[in-house]
Amino acid sequence: MKIFTATAAAQGRRHNDFNYCIEGELVWIGLVCATDRRNPDGGCGCGRAFAGMSSHRATTTAMIRDVATDRRRYIGALRASLEA
Ligand SMILES: [Zn+2]
């Protein structure tokens, strides 16, 4: 199943890139605060970041990888991340 994962590849292409995720962990597009909703390049960073489902950290770069999982397990992983 092709899904978004965290990567350090391409970090630095933008001056405000950051990566605090674990390489290869599953990511999703997380919640965005009011500050970044108005300006994704604002000081917070959540408006331009993916959220790590394991680390609960963020990264501005992600890549699609073919991961050995299926829809049911992916939903379970997202649910477990949100519960944590
Ligand atoms: Zn924010």
12-32 per-position pLDDT tens digit = 999 999 999 999 999 999 899
- Residue 76: helix, strand or coil by DSSP? helix
pTM: 0.89
Phi, psi torsion values for 48, nearest 5 degrees: -125, 15
C-alpha of residue 72 to centroid of ligand 1, in Å = 29
Q: In tens digits, what is the pLDDT along the chain, a chain of 84 residues?
A: 999 999 999 999 999 999 999 999 999 998 999 999 999 998 899 999 999 999 999 999 999 999 999 999 999 999 999 999
What's the rounded Cα separation, in Å, for the pair 55 and 66? 20
C-alpha of residue 68 to centroid of ligand 1, in Å = 32
pLDDT in the model for residue 43: 84
C-alpha of residue 36 to centroid of ligand 1, in Å = 5
What's the rounded Cα separation, in Å, for the pair 81 and 79? 5
Please answer whether residues 30 and 40 qualify as being in contact, where contact means their C-beta atoms are separated by less than 8 angstroms: no
Ligand 1 ion: Cβ-proximal residues, 5 Å cutoff: 33, 36, 44, 46
Sign of CA dihedral 74, 77, 79, 82: negative
